[in-house]
Amino acid sequence: MNKCLLIACFVSLLMIGFSCKKENPIVPDPSDNLAIDSIVPEKRTIVVWEEIGVKVYTRGTGLSYLWSTNHGTLIGQDSVTVRYWACPTCTGLNTIECKVSNEYGTVSDTVMIKVL
């Protein structure tokens, strides 16, 4: 009986020993170096001359930003936020693009704003 118990304990210890893997060092996700998580406007549908804020959420360090739009006007508020409005000839579905760059390259994302 004691012998069986001893063997069982030994096998259990072996199983535990083999089952434990060595802790790997944490490798950062490549996207942590440079990524745009999202571009978030205050509203997605606005009327002519209505002003909204648009904010970009990013990952990475040493980032530079370049905002553009196909119709309407953008004014910088801070490095990650711009103000947007559209004149009467800018009605329709408009695109705001943000390009983010650092030493790892450039990524971009867009958001659509409907101007009524």
Partner 1 sequence: MKLIFLFILCTLCSFQLSAQCCSAGNPVAGSGFESASTKGECQVSSAIKYSLSDQYYFHDCKIDNPYILKSSFLYQNLWLSYSFSNRISVSAEAGYFYDKSQKLSFNDDPFRLGTSGIGDVALAVKIIVLKKVKPVTQLAFSAGTKIPVGAFHQSVDGITIPVSLQPSSGAIKWTANASFQRLSADQSWGFASQAMLALSSEINKDYLIYRHGTFLRTNAGVMHRVLPKMNVSLFGVLDVRGKDTREFDQVVTGTGSFAILVQPWIQYAFRSDRILFFNIESPVYRYFNGELLGNKFAAQIGFRATFNTYNKKKSI
Residue type, 102: N
DSSP string, 31-91: GGTEEEEEEEES-SEE-TT--EEEEEEEEESS-EEEEEESSSEEEEEETTEEEEE--GGG-
Q: How far is the CB of 76 from partner 1 (least distance, A)?
A: 5
Using CB under 8 A as the binding criterion, the count of chain residues that bind partner 1 stands at 27
Interactions with partner 1, residue window 50-89 (CB under 8 A): 64-76, 79, 82-83, 85, 87-89
Q: Closest CB to partner 1 among 65 and 104?
A: 65
Using left for φ > 0, alpha for ψ between -120 and 50, and beta otherwise, residue 24 falls in: beta
Interactions with partner 1, residue window 8-47 (CB under 8 A): none
> Using CB under 8 A as the criterion, which residues of the chain lie in contact with partner 1 when the complex forms?
48-49, 64-76, 79, 82-83, 85, 87-89, 91-92, 95, 97, 110
